[in-house]
Homo-oligomer: A and B are copies of this chain.
Amino acid sequence: MTRKEQKEERKQAILMTALTLFVERGYHETKITDIAEAVPMSTGLMFHYFASKEELLLELVRMGTMGPGSFGENVTVPPDVYMTMFLNTIFSFATEQPWVFYMFVLMAQVRRPGMPEEARKLAESVDAVAPTVKLIKKGQKDGIFHKGNAETMAIAFWASVQGIMEFRSINKDIKMPDPEWIVAMLK
């Protein structure tokens, strides 16, 4: 089935191209034509692979939901250690697989107002803030983390990670931070 494989590869190529453009220019500013041109293929053919621009986005978001969805499960080490390890893992993973950075940024973009409803809902469903709140509360109880509204702390924590990723997706040569000192903001 060379035919089917070809189709699958082509689909992946479209997805990766779209991911890059959505992140670099924004979803609404990326024309179907731009993606087609970059792949490259004709405009019409895009619709042979994806029913609509929105469906294409949705497919990307589905990919995005699969990666780090497991944050906060099976925590056997102290919260601060767990969080440091987790950041270490995604940072080093993303350094090898650059598209992971892009995916992070895309997911954040899709969670913002004005994005297609379905994709937005899906992206929100894998937001790591909620599990982080639990972890932080545990850490506070153990006296590892300082006092304060756990939700605020979780938001600030992920926002800084997000911010770094976002910057990195534009400025390829920024140095990634030491997970230690992002976690330090909670201590």
Interface residues of A (CB under 8 A from B): 23-30, 112-115, 146, 148-149, 151-153, 155-164, 166-167, 170, 174-178, 181-182, 184-187
Contacts and interface: CB of A to CB of B under 8 A. Distances in A.
B181 A146 contact: yes
A128 to B, nearest CB: 13
Q: Chain A binding site: helix, strand, loop or mixed by DSSP?
A: helix
20 contacts: A23-B113, A25-B113, A26-B114, A28-B29, A113-B170, A148-B181, A149-B174, A149-B177, A151-B175, A153-B177, A155-B167, A157-B160, A159-B159, A159-B160, A159-B163, A159-B167, A160-B163, A160-B185, A163-B163, A184-B185
A153 B153 CA distance: 17
A61 to B, nearest CB: 17
Contacts of A184: 146, 184-185, 187
A164 B175 contact: no
A36 B166 CA distance: 34
A24 B113 contact: yes
Nearest to A114: B26
Task: Give 7 closest A-B pairs by Cβ, nearest first.
Answer: A159-B163, A26-B114, A185-B185, A29-B114, A160-B160, A156-B160, A149-B175
